[in-house]
Amino acid sequence: MKCIRCKQKAKILLKRHNAAFCDNCFLYYYRNQVSKNIKRHRMFDKKDRILVVISGGKDSMALWDVLIKEGYDVVAMYINLGIGEYSNRSQEVVEKFASVHNLPLIVKDIKKEYGLDIYKLSKTLKRSPCSICGSIKRYLFNKVAYDGGFSAVATGHNLDDEAATLLGNVLSWEEGYLARQAPVLPQTHPKLIKKVKPLYTLTERENLYYVLLNKIEFLHEECPHSVGARSILYKEVLNRLEEKSPGTKQRFINSFLEKGRKHFQDVAEKLELRECKTCGQVTTTEECSFCRFVRICNQQEKQQDV
């Protein structure tokens, strides 16, 4: 198997592109994909300041590294969600990378800074830890980006994530989520910062190969709450399809973006946005869910003190 670019011995085969690459040419392909995605969707340019969301996993670590190598002005942000040892170990990985490469990093600890406890909230509100965690993350990324004057928030969502999310949303025709599934979510309110996914055409396997080739440390373990998640089942199903018919995931995403997504836009436009009475951030209710969470946790603390 020869590299399609330089004709040397290939190390990785990408069936969906009918291509094989040696290590050097793979890195060229990877950076080129990221760069093309950023330009094609006008995600940001070299004048913009970008807040990159880092979890310590391979995808976000790859994104952080590639954006720096491509010369973008990035600041990383990590949130300690209080998920036991998993959160502590991921914070260590992220802090080490920032310190070794002398990179700016913002760390938010939801317990220390806001008194938030995902597990107590999950019990009180009878909601899964993931739904609470998701709301907290979305709130903090946007708030930090808005307060810090950033142009965009970039996340490490990859092709496997996007295809699995799309499959889940299509299976139950989640019109609101389908309207918002895109590589770029533009600014629809002065306080809602643009969200971008520069890795949306790259697979988990390609991100893994990128971090291994660049000797980037990352947290190998997944969050304990991801075990049994439906998204994992969707990924397994899509992997089987991909095995039989390479390119299925890419076609699924691309054809949705080209032909499907426009049919859901009126749902997105109908959402009435307002500012939270407590913090002023954008929400669809009187009080945003983050402020509600903080209020509930404070009340629980007070009751314990009595």
**Which positions lie near Zn ion, rule CB under 5 A?**
276, 278-279, 288, 291
Nearest-10 Cα torsion for 44, 49, 51, 56: 90
For ligand SF4, the binding residues in 195-234 under the rule CB under 6 A are 223, 225-226
Q: Which of 67, 82, 160 is nearest to 118 (CA)?
A: 82
> Residue 27 binds which entry of ligand SF4, Zn ion, none, with Cβ cut-offs from 5 to 8 Å by kind?
none
- Long-range pairs, 15-21, Cβ under 8 A, ≥24: 15/246, 15/247, 16/242, 16/246, 16/247, 16/249, 16/250, 18/246
67 binds, among Zn ion, ligand SF4, none (CB under 5 to 8 A by kind): none
For residue 6, give every residue at least 6 positions away whose Cβ sits within 8 Å of its Cβ, in sequence order, or none: 22, 24, 25
Q: Mark residues 252-291: x for contact with ligand SF4 by CB under 6 A, - for none.
A: ----------------------------------------
Cα 21 to Cα 71: distance, rounded to the nearest angstrom = 24
Site string (78-117) toward ligand SF4, x via CB under 6 A: ----------------------------------------
Smallest separation, CB 112 to Zn ion (Å)? 19
- Residue closer to ligand SF4 (CB basis): 128 or 245: 128
Which CB atom, from 3 or from 116, has the smaller least distance to ligand SF4?
Answer: 116
Residue type, 170: V
Q: Please, is 305 exposed, middle or buried when counting C-beta atoms within 10 Å of its C-beta (0-12, 13-18, 19+)?
A: exposed
For ligand SF4, which residue of 129, 156, 183, 198 counts as binding (CB under 6 A)?
129
Counting every residue, how long is the chain?
306
Q: Which residue, 134 or 186, has its beta carbon nearer to ligand SF4?
A: 134
Catalog residues that contact ligand SF4 under the rule CB under 6 A. Answer: 129-130, 133-134, 223, 225-226
